[in-house]
Amino acid sequence: MLKVENLTHIYPDGTVALRDVSFEVPDGEFLGIIGLSGSGKSTLLRCINRLLDPTEGKVIWNGVDLTELDQADLRKSRREIGMIFQHFNLVRRSSVMTNVLSGRLGYTAPSWSLINRFSRKDREKAVAVLERMGISNKAYNRADELSGGQQQRVGIARALMQDPKMILADEPVASLDPVLAHSILGALETLNKEDKITVLCSLHFLDLVQRYATRVVGLRDGRLVYSGSKEDVGKLSDQRFKDIYGEEAQRLDTD
Partner 1 sequence: MTESNQSMTKTSPLQGLLSAFIPGLGQFVAGLRARGFYIFATVFTMGGLSVWTIAQRARFPDYGLSLGIFLRLSVQAAALLLFLLAAQRLLTRFILHDPVAQTFSGYGVGILYVLAVTYLTQSFLSLAAAGVETNQYHATTAVFAAAAMAALWIWQIGDAARVGGLSSQQPKPSIGSLIFIACVIIFILGYNITGINLPKAISEYQDTAILLPRMFWPWRNAFEYTQEFEEATQKIQAPCPAGDEGPPANSPDPDVAWVSATPTCGDLSERPITGGLMLGTELTITGGNFTPGQVVDILWNNPIGNAFRPRGMGPTEITIDLDGGFSTQLNIPDAVISASTAVGAQIHTLVVRQSSEEVFTGRLSQDMILALELMLQTIMIGLMATFFGIILAFPVSFLAARNLMAPVVSPLNRIVGSGIGLIAGVWAGGIITGQIANRLGGLAEAPIQIFLAGIFAVGMLGLLGFQSIGTLFTRLTNSLGAQGTGKVLTSLVLAALAAAPGYLLGIGFSRGIRSIVLGDEVAALQESTYAIAGALLLALVAALYGMLRRSGEGVKIGMAIYTVSRTIMNIVRSIEPLIWAIVASIWVGLGPFAGTMALTVHTIAALGKLYSEAIESIDQGPLEALQATGANRLQTIVYAVVPQILPPFISFTIYRWDINVRLSTIIGLVGGGGIGFVLIQWMRLYQYENVGIAVWLITITVATLDYVSSTIRERFV
Ligand X SMILES: Nc1ncnc2c1ncn2[C@@H]1O[C@H](COP(=O)(O)OP(=O)(O)OP(=O)(O)O)[C@@H](O)[C@H]1O
Contact set with ligand X (CB under 6 A): 11, 13, 15, 17, 35, 37-43
Cβ proximity to Mg ion, 82 vs 172, nearer residue: 172
DSSP annotation of 95 reads B
Cβ proximity to partner 1, 113 vs 141, nearer residue: 113
Q: Measured between alpha carbons, how far is residue 48 from residues 5, 118, 221 in Å?
A: 11, 28, 18
Sequence-ordered strand ranges (E) for the chain: 2-10, 16-25, 30-35, 56-61, 64-65, 81-84, 166-170, 198-202, 215-220, 223-229
Cβ proximity to Mg ion, 133 vs 173, nearer residue: 173
Cβ neighbours of residue 4 closer than 8 Å, sequence gap 6 or more: 21, 22, 23, 24, 25, 44, 48, 57, 58, 59, 60
Closest separation in Å from C-beta 174 to Mg ion: 8
Cβ distance 3 to 181 under 8 Å?
Answer: no
Cβ proximity to Mg ion, 42 vs 192, nearer residue: 42
**Alpha-carbon gap, residue 133 to 127, rounded angstroms:** 10
Site for partner 1 in 41-80 (CB under 8 A): 49, 51, 71, 75-79
Closest separation in Å from C-beta 210 to ligand X: 19
User: Is 49 one of the binding residues for Mg ion (CB under 5 A)?
Assistant: no
Q: Which residue is nearest to Mg ion (CB)?
A: 42
Binding mask 28-47 toward Mg ion (x if CB under 5 A, else -) reads --------------x-----
For residue 234, count other CB atoms closer than 10 A to its CB: 11
The residues that bridge with 16 in the sheet, in sequence order, are: 10
* Residue 64: CA count within 13 A, CB half-sphere: 13
User: Residue 15: which of ligand X, partner 1, Mg ion, none does it interact with, CB under 5 to 8 A by kind?
Assistant: ligand X
Cβ proximity to partner 1, 165 vs 182, nearer residue: 165
Binding site for Mg ion (CB under 5 A): 42
* Interface residues toward partner 1, by CB under 8 A: 49, 51, 71, 75-79, 81-83, 85, 87-94, 98, 102-108, 110, 113-114, 116, 155, 158-159, 161-162, 168
